[in-house]
Amino acid sequence: MTELAIPPSIKPPCSVGSQTALRSQNVRRVVDTLIANGASTRAEIARHTGLSAATVSNIVAVMVDRGTVSTSPTRSSGRRAVHIRLESRGAVIVGIDVGRRHARVVVASLAHQVLGERAITLPRGHRREEGIEATARLLDEILESEGIERRAVVGVGVGVPGPIDRRTGSVVDGAILPEWSGVNLVTAFEQRLGLPVFVDNDANLGALAEVTWGAHAMSQNLVFLKLGSGIGCGLVIGGEPFYGHLGIAGEIGHSPVSDLGPMCHCGNRGCLETVASTSMMLEVLGQRSTPSITTDDIIRQAVAGDVATLRVVGDAGFAAGRAVAGVVNLLNPEVVVIGGPLAELGDILLDPVRRGFERYAVPLAAETTTLAVSSLGDRAEVLGAASLAARQPSLQLA
Ligand SMILES: [Zn+2]
């Protein structure tokens, strides 16, 4: 149907688009009530959502048809009633995390209960199509082994390590995965999966995971610093992810921490990544031991007390703490979480971060900001990707 070009001022006040939006908002309120309160009668749902009994009945009827909710008889105030409960396998969300060397997929209920999870190692320098294909296969395996129908998947969140231009859904040029630069990730994954896809970068998803699945679920303002082969920063401000103008907020890896430091691949000198990225740490440590050293070796040697490794981790932590201080002075979050593979080091990493942070943060912020390492390990990004999907207002839940 072609829409006539009517000037906005004389458009009918309630277009089809806004009715659809209103309906999905109402469906979302019903789902959120069922997540928060568990099994409820129609009257209870109406009371909690403020929706009319007729609207609730209508929404519930469609959800029963779709298998999103199930019903069972109960009694309410001595009268016969029907309990409505979310079917955990009736509507599921999917998180996908794909990086240079790994692919990980999680399937979860709308109430954020993990139903299945799988991960594999990808060959170094794999092609983009291989990465997408691997995640598609992992998803199929989980759905099959858990007995979940494909039509139950209401949304897929995808995380990649690199800034994403939110105007196009494409990975910004110069990202850590050159194969993915300029590619429209939404289209690429939707074509293969045949499901609605939403994309974000790994650091933003880490932040989202911490306020959804992690130890900081009550935080309204949180900074997630991901130290990996690249360095990114995810921000949650006022309970919502913060993206900035184009989606590249949080590119902290290229904030300068040393005026005369080494050249960075971005063309500047002394960026945080030249000191605190795992790739740079491996390069420095590889010069004195075996060049094939891995991130796991850094962790093992640091825990064993190897002096050179502790020095490199210490310098990285201090520089990261300094960069975090700048963010904290600007935003005053209650929590800063350090994620990425080195988070496993716990206090060995956190102590130098704290020293750098306390040296450069405003005293009151330094005293009152909680600094922690992520407890989600290498699952932070995939869990955040599932949360990203769950938050979308456009999900077809009924
Ligand atoms: Zn740089």
**Is 268's pLDDT higher than 70?**
yes
Token pair of 295, please?
Answer: 């991130």
pLDDT digits (tens, 9 = 90+) for 310-319: 999 999 999 9
Protein residues with C-beta less than 5 angstroms from the ion ligand 1: 254, 264, 266, 268, 271
The pLDDT value recorded for residue 163 is: 84
The pLDDT value recorded for residue 77 is: 79
Q: Is 229 helix (H, G, I), strand (E, B) or coil?
A: coil
**Is 14's pLDDT higher than 80?**
no
Distance CA 40, CA 54 (A): 16
Q: How far is the CA of 264 from the centre of ligand 1 (A)?
A: 4
User: Based on the domain organization, do 227 and 334 belong to the same domain?
Assistant: yes
Domain count, the chain: 3
Give strand pairing partners of 370. 335
Contact 77/62 with Cβ under 8 angstroms? no
Within-domain flag for 121? yes
The pLDDT value recorded for residue 176 is: 60
Q: How far is the CA of 163 from the centre of ligand 1 (A)?
A: 14
The pLDDT value recorded for residue 192 is: 96
Q: How far is the CA of 269 from the centre of ligand 1 (A)?
A: 7
User: Based on the domain organization, do 222 and 368 belong to the same domain?
Assistant: yes
Percent of the chain with pLDDT over 70: 95
The pLDDT value recorded for residue 229 is: 87
**Is 4's pLDDT higher than 60?**
no
Q: How far is the CA of 244 from the centre of ligand 1 (A)?
A: 20
Q: How confident is the model at residue 125 (pLDDT cuts 50, 70, 90)?
A: confident
The pLDDT value recorded for residue 166 is: 85
Q: How far is the CA of 340 from the centre of ligand 1 (A)?
A: 19
Neighbour order of strands in the sheet with 114-121: 114-121, 102-109, 92-98, 153-160, 197-201
Distance CA 363, CA 228 (A): 28
Within-domain flag for 338? yes
Q: How far is the CA of 158 from the centre of ligand 1 (A)?
A: 25
Contacts 24+ apart (CB under 8 A), 260-266: 265/174, 266/174
Residue 189: other Cβ atoms inside 10 A? 24
Q: How far is the CA of 95 from the centre of ligand 1 (A)?
A: 29
User: Based on the domain organization, do 73 and 222 belong to the same domain?
Assistant: no
The pLDDT value recorded for residue 5 is: 42
Give strand pairing partners of 84. 40, 71
**Is 231's pLDDT higher than 90?**
yes
CA distances (Å), origin 226, targets 32, 277, 326, 386:
30, 9, 16, 18
Neighbour order of strands in the sheet with 370-373: 240-241, 231-237, 222-227, 335-339, 370-373
Contact 224/339 with Cβ under 8 angstroms? yes
Q: How far is the CA of 294 from the centre of ligand 1 (A)?
A: 22
The pLDDT value recorded for residue 393 is: 84
- Which string of b and e fits 80-107 if b means at least 16 CB within 10 Å? ebbbbebbebbbbbbbbbbbbebbbbbb
Query: Which distant-in-sequence residues (6+ apart) come within 8 Å of 358 by Cβ?
Result: 321, 366
Within-domain flag for 11? no
Q: How far is the CA of 142 from the centre of ligand 1 (A)?
A: 39
Q: How far is the CA of 282 from the centre of ligand 1 (A)?
A: 17
Radius of gyration of the chain, Cα coordinates, nearest whole angstrom: 23
pLDDT digits (tens, 9 = 90+) for 160-181: 888 888 888 888 876 566 777 7
**Is 397's pLDDT higher than 90?**
no
CA distances (Å), origin 287, targets 224, 290, 340:
31, 7, 23
User: Based on the domain organization, do 76 and 100 belong to the same domain?
Assistant: no
Q: How far is the CA of 266 from the centre of ligand 1 (A)?
A: 4
User: Based on the domain organization, do 387 and 371 belong to the same domain?
Assistant: no
Q: How far is the CA of 179 from the centre of ligand 1 (A)?
A: 20
Distance CA 196, CA 190 (A): 6
pLDDT digits (tens, 9 = 90+) for 28-86: 999 999 999 999 999 999 999 999 999 999 999 999 998 999 999 988 778 888 999 99
Q: What is the CATH number of the domain that holds 180?
A: 3.30.420.40
The pLDDT value recorded for residue 127 is: 86
Within-domain flag for 364? yes
Kindly state the average pLDDT of the residues 321-344. Answer: 96
Q: What is the mean pLDDT of the chain?
A: 90
Within-domain flag for 14? no
**Is 101's pLDDT higher than 90?**
no
Q: How far is the CA of 276 from the centre of ligand 1 (A)?
A: 11
Kindly state the average pLDDT of the residues 93-102. Answer: 92
Beta-strand ranges (E) seen in the chain are: 69-76, 79-86, 92-98, 102-109, 114-121, 153-160, 164-165, 170-171, 197-201, 222-227, 231-237, 240-241, 335-339, 370-373
Kindly state the average pLDDT of the residues 130-148. Answer: 96
Q: How far is the CA of 82 from the centre of ligand 1 (A)?
A: 60
Q: How far is the CA of 175 from the centre of ligand 1 (A)?
A: 11
Kindly state the average pLDDT of the residues 124-150. Answer: 94
User: Based on the domain organization, do 199 and 242 belong to the same domain?
Assistant: no
Q: How far is the CA of 253 from the centre of ligand 1 (A)?
A: 6
Within-domain flag for 132? yes
Q: What is the CATH number of the domain that holds 57?
A: 1.10.10.10
State the residue range of the domain holding 347.
Answer: 217-375
